Structure 1
Amino acid sequence: MRRAERYRAEERRAVAETAQRLAVLLRAGIAPERAWHFIAEVDGGPAASIVARMGSGQRIADAVEQEGGPWRSIAGAWRIAAEVGAPLADSLRSIAGAARDAAEAADDVAIALAEPAMTARIMTWLPAAGLLLGAALGFDVVGVVLGTPVGAASVIAGAGMMLLGRWWSARLIRSASRRAETPGLRAEFTAIALSGGASASRASALVEDADPGGDPGTTARVLELSRVAGVPAAELLRAAAADERQGARTHGRIAAAQLGSRLLLPLGVCTLPAFFLLGVAPMILSVLATTPVVW
């Protein structure tokens, strides 16, 4: 797993842990500001930054939102719950579960991607290894490259193909690992708003202000089902959020499985020709340059 992906996974787990601890402290009767201070005193890190901003006069939701990334899920839930009077502890517990599911899904996808991604990185260095192998075997690779136009052109073209292959492979890997920050967050936010007694229209407006991403159509269909069936929408929405996270996990696994075959394209189009141009062609030219011509 790349460093940026490791950081995002750790950040999701930190958000889930913080939201869960806040829910427990709030349920125990501790005031929200004091709960944040206790967590910052023990954990430091983002919680300490949030408390510092709170000390400068910012509201809690605004201070949390400035952390960005998955911390925006806590900020959005906090803001909506405060607006409609929903139970804050229960709202944070829902967000903790959502963030934990998202972190586990991201870990599953990263594990599935690890092997094809590592294979791709190794294969893109194969042309350079061929060039070094030719020099190690005693072929006058350097003389051919520096002394003949054909050798120089071969190496330049091979280096270009190698870089193109690396760029192409990296793009395929990024595309396979791309996913929503926290799938199902829109449905979770809507459930929080409805649990505080807000109407469906007001809940939708509050969720839009929080900008959780995701497909509004999914939430709209759940609300319509709730209206037609005459049942509370909150549990339907949380079930839809869980389904969305499971769908994101399945999609990530499928993308990881398909990555292995897709990486064959840059391998065949770029890496193997680059291996010939960098590794094989200079050795052939070196042999030809040192072989006397017999008339």
Structure 2
Amino acid sequence: MWKRLRELIYARASRAGELVAGSAQGAQTEQRNEATVVAERAAALLRGGVPPARAFAVIAADASSTSATGVIAARITDGVPIPSALAANDAPEWRVLAVAWRLAEECGAPLAPALQRIAYALRELDQMRERRSVLLAGPRATVRMVAALPILALLLGVLLGFDPVPVLLSPAGAVIASVGTGLLGVGVHWSRVMQRRAANDDQIAGLPFELMWVALGGGAPPPAAARHVVDRVDHYGAEWVPFDGFCSGSSLHSTLAAAESAGVPMRPLLLEQADAERVASAARLEREAERLGVRVLLPLGVCVLPAFIVLGVVPVVLSMFGAV
């Protein structure tokens, strides 16, 4: 099994470099929220005795045919298995949901509780995104404010009676404008790349524990349950579930071993550990957002502030002394 896991880890690492963002951030957020709602509603309908295919038809009744839910329902109507219909959507949330659904079917675990746990994890991810957006608002505002300083300096020079426009239209001014604009563009792009990396760091912590909890729900022994989880994760391409989380020495492996040696039920311990992983992930998010507020000063100090001097101060000074 460990050899197979290593092969999957390497395969995933090679595929990671080939992933391309498919849609805008707003559309992605809408899809993610929709996956959460679908998981919650499906769990509720299944608890009420509604068959799975019928449950999706009920959920899709209020959705447009072009929405992810409508597309899934159409695939299911055409005879596509529900997990495959879920995984065909181009968003990680749907693939995680597909893995959980298929695991419950294969292992004989109750489907509604499995979907409810995934819905709970997805809901926490939505809350984490909202929290991250608040934490990143400060660095974004700082970048916008500092990027506007060159223009404000030029306007201030005009208000004080100095006209920097002839300076900028001169041959020397063309060089000044080119250097200043280049520095400003590099600084803004640099800071935005830093913000984008922080904003796109989406994943659900503790998923190996959640999926093992689902697989064990049908009574399978831990080694067989782990094989089921790894196979389904690989089959549906659920990139948020790290393969190394199932290897010997991982936190999941240690938790299962501790539960077995102590003679306590494994499934409650797995859920507790999943919750603990998400709490730790939220704490890391806050730390990274706070560090970003400091790191963003690097492109501002190296590029944007020199651009302010070149574009906003030098033309005004030259116009004051009539250099051009």
TM-score in terms of structure 1 length: 0.89
Work out which of the residue numbers 180, 194, 213 in structure 2 matches 1:158: 180
Which residue of 274, 280, 286 corresponds with 1:253? 286
Report the alpha carbon displacement of residue 67 of structure 1 after superposing the two structures with TM. Answer: 1.3
How far apart are the structure 2 equivalents of 1:279 and 1:79? 61
* Match of residue 198 from structure 1: 220
Matched, 1:67 2:89: yes
In 2, Cα distance between the equivalents of 1:136 and 1:66? Answer: 59
Query: How many Å apart are 1:71 and its aligned residue?
Result: 1.5
- Does residue 169 (structure 1) correspond to residue 191 (structure 2)? The answer is yes
Change (3 A) 1:54 1:10: same
- Distance in structure 2 (CA, Å) of the matches to 1:148 and 1:220: 68
Give distance in 1, aligned partners of 2:43 and 2:120: 11
Q: Tell me the equivalent position of 2:14.
A: none
Identity %: 38
How many angstroms does 1:290 deviate by? 5.8
1:91 aligns with 2:106: no
Conserved in 2, the CA contact under 8 Å of 1:102 and 1:245?
Answer: no
Counterpart of 2:80 in structure 1 is 58
Q: Deviations over 1:257-295 (max 9, x none)?
A: 22222222122111111001001111122233368xxxx
Q: Displacement, 1:135?
A: 4.8
The question of whether the paired residues in 2 share the 8 Å contact of 1:140 and 1:283 is answered with: yes
Match of 2:60 among 19, 29, 40: 40
Return the match for 1:143 from 156, 166, 169: 166
Instruction: Point out the structure with the larger helix share.
Output: 1
1:187 equivalenced with 2:209 (yes/no) = yes
Letter in 2 for 1:268: G
C-alpha separation in 1, matches of 2:273 and 2:143:
36
Post-superposition CA distance 1:15-60 (Å, at most 9, x none): 2221111111111111100000000002332111101112233111
**2:39 matched residue in structure 1:** 19
State the alpha-carbon separation in 1 of the partners of residues 285 and 28 from structure 2. Answer: 16
Q: 1:100 to 1:245 in 2, by over 3 A?
A: same
In the TM superposition, 1:202-281 aligns within 5 A as 202-209=224-231, 210=233, 211=238, 212-214=240-242, 216=245, 217-281=250-314
Distance in 2 of aligned mates of 1:9 and 1:200: 35
Letter paired with 2:52: P
Deviations along 1:143-189, one digit per CA (max 9) or x if unpaired, are: 2223233x222211111110111012112212333433222222111
**In the TM superposition, what whole-angstrom CA distance separates every residue of 1:70-111 from its partner, at most 9, and x where no partner exists?**
112211111111111110111111111111111112211211
Corresponding residue of 2:147: 124
Structure 2: unaligned runs, 5 residues or longer: 1-22
**Is the contact made by 2:63 and 2:69 (CA closer than 8 Å) also made in structure 1?**
yes
- Counterpart CA distance in 2 for 1:266 and 1:250 is 26
Q: What is the alpha-carbon distance in structure 2 between the residues aligned to residue 273 and residue 258 of structure 1?
A: 23
Aligned counterpart, 2:50: 30
* Secondary structure class of the residue paired with 1:196: coil
CA distance in 1, matches of 2:60, 2:159: 57
Is the deviation greater in 250-259 or in 212-221? 212-221
The code of the aligned residue for 2:117 comes to S
CA contact (8 A) 1:179 1:248 kept: no
Q: Deviations over 1:178-235 (max 9, x none)?
A: 4332222221111100111222222222222314424502222212222222222211
Q: 1:134, 1:141 within 8 Å by CA — same for their partners in 2?
A: yes
Residue identity opposite 2:139 in structure 1: P
2:146–2:305: 8 Å Cα contact kept in structure 1? Answer: no
Q: 3-state SS of the aligned residue for 1:157?
A: helix
**How many aligned positions are there?**
288
More displaced stretch, 125-134 vs 218-227: 125-134
1:81 alignment counterpart? 104
Query: In angstroms, what is the RMSD of aligned CA positions?
Result: 2.1
